[in-house]
Amino acid sequence: TVVEPECEKSSATTYYWYREALDISGSLSESGGLNWKMTLSLLVAWVMVCLAMIKGIQSSGKVMYFSSLFPYVVLLCFLVRGLLLNGSVDGIRHMFTPKLEIMLDPKVWREAATQVFFALGLGFGGVIAFSSYNKRDNNCHFDAVLVSFVNFFTSVLATLVVFAVLGFKANIINEKCVIQNSEKILKLLKIGNLSQDMIPHHINFSSITAKDYNLVYDIIKKVKEEEFDSLGLKSCQIENELNKAVQGTGLAFIAFTEAMTHFPASPFWSVMFFFMLVNLGLGSMFGTIEGIITPIVDTFKVRKEILSVICCLVAFLIGLIFVQRSGNYYVTMFDDYSATLPLLLLVILENIAVTRIYGIDKFMEDLKDMLGFSPSRYYYYTWKYVSPLVMLCLLVASIVQMGLSPPGYNAWIEDTATEEFKSYPTWAMLLCVSLMVLALLPVPIVYMVRRCNLVEDSSGSLASVSYKRGRIIKEPVNVEEDNTSLIHGKSPSEVPSPNLGKNIYRKQTGSPTLDTAPNGRYGIGYLMADMPDMPESDL
């Protein structure tokens, strides 16, 4: 048997993650080439996403049922199993114990906001893309409230599972700490460095508990105050282990995985856990890619199948950055600079666009027409004042903190088997700035395109449509080329996501009210005008 120094200095799980799975390099500058195992896994994942996108919203919707519900089954199984483990209560108690000094840190609030954006899919376009397939009278108010509450309780459920398992892991590490330090005390007693009189009579070192050890530890620390550091004894507190902050990939692939190795039938739980992670990843990507594909299909009338393949292929090629040996450092960089700050700014701009530019009063009137009742004024004041103010405060705090703290990453050092903080080189700093600029670039570009009329404004553009009491009335434009393909012979999965067509289909007097277009989407491609007095030519 050959002992691997890197494994011996860290732990089996940590070694497996950094050396076997990632085969990580020592710094961001050392590419190390592609990791073929991860490259193959990345390819398989994108092929699965691509196939779901080609099949369309019906297919991805059905897949989402499984990918959304399966994690709940796994989480509930883990929660029941976790609560039966020794030390799980300590983990849950730690979870619900507030730490005011941490709550005053703006970074915590920024990360909490980012977590909410990611969990709800805000700012990515996926929610808007999926909702564009809804009927006109869909109760979006109920959907929004339901999704928010489900998301909150899911987060609590997942956190309970994590802390129950981490409490179990902390208990195991604490027990090892007690045994090792108890052996040290026995040796010190034998060589005479410690007196037997210091040890309470009821203490039995062969079956000592954590409580008894900490009692002995406190006594020795008081008596041997000056010589205590030289004795080499450590305090064994479960809280010390739980306070060790673990986040990102380290939580799922090291801390949680290491805890699972102590489960009875651990291979079964490992398979369940990682299968759940794959489901969550695929579910997230379905929404994200739908948010990219749908607007392009609606605007340029391209074939969804071809666009899906191109989009997934480009995403796979970009993803090759992350499956290099130094790829994990790029994941950290993209997470910090491409997905956090720009996302916050995009959501602020969305809020401004709806409440200030389009008009909060008009928006509330639209909701009233769609829902059939007036939404609570709570939403009015939240959207207009509270949300932008809170998000602006978060944005300013994030920028200030980013300026004060040196930008860098934690690199894995093979010789010491520990993580070491390293600052980003100059080229990496330029890349970080580029990531933030690229994420925000579509906003000014589309503004200039619209402002300067750089792209020919077809009669189907949103600019030429007025919204009146739930009806969409087209302003007089060049009406020709009756495109009936949206009505005849096409199922929703066969046609691209419809855009505003060039025609108005007049609702016949006395005909039943139609809430949806033939393609399943109200107000897009099927425009109704309830104006029997208007000449057909004007319509």
Q: How many CB atoms lie within 10 A of CB 175?
A: 17
Residue at 464: amino acid letter: S
What are the angstrom distances between the C-alpha of 287 and each of 119, 169, 296, 536?
A: 11, 35, 15, 41
**3-class state of residue 490 by DSSP:** coil
In 3-state terms, what secondary structure has residue 70? helix
Q: How far apart are CA 392 and CA 351, in angstroms?
A: 11
280 is in an annotated binding site: yes
- Burial call 84-96: b when 16+ CB within 10 Å, e when fewer: ebebbebbbebbe
Alpha helices per DSSP H over 301-371: 304-319, 327-337, 341-352, 360-371
Tell me how far apart the alpha carbons of residues 225 and 216 are, in angstroms, rounded to a whole number. Answer: 14
Q: What is the dihedral of CA 194, 200, 204, 208, to 10 degrees?
A: -90
Strands (E), 155-252: none
Quote the CA–CA distance of 252 and 162 in Å, as a whole number: 9
Helix (H), strand (E) at residue 464: none
The residue assigned the tokens 């393909």 is 485
Residue 204 assigned to a binding site: no
How many angstroms separate the CA atoms of 484 and 214, rounded?
A: 81
Token pair in block for residue 256: 């949680």
Greatest Cα pair distance in the chain? 109
Phi, psi of 224 (to 5 degrees): -100, 50
- Which helix (H) or strand (E) element contains residue 287? helix 266-300
Say if residues 84 and 76 touch (Cβ distance below 8 Å): no
What does the CA dihedral 327, 332, 249, 421 come to, rounded to 10 degrees?
100
Residue 48 neighbours by CB distance under 10 Å:
17
Query: Encoding tokens for residue 443?
Result: 């906003």
Token representation of residue 315: 């995403």
Which of the 8 DSSP states describes residue 504? B
CB 254 within 8 A of CB 246: yes
Query: What residue type is assigned to position 5 of the chain?
Result: P
Closest CA to 413 of 3, 120, 6: 6
> Which residue bears the tokens 């009146």?
468
Residue 181, annotated as binding a ligand: no
Q: Report the half-sphere exposure of 305 (CA within 13 A, side-chain side).
A: 4
What are the structure tokens assigned to 244, written together?
């060790």
- Known binding positions for Na(+): 151, 280, 284
- Known binding positions: 151, 280, 284
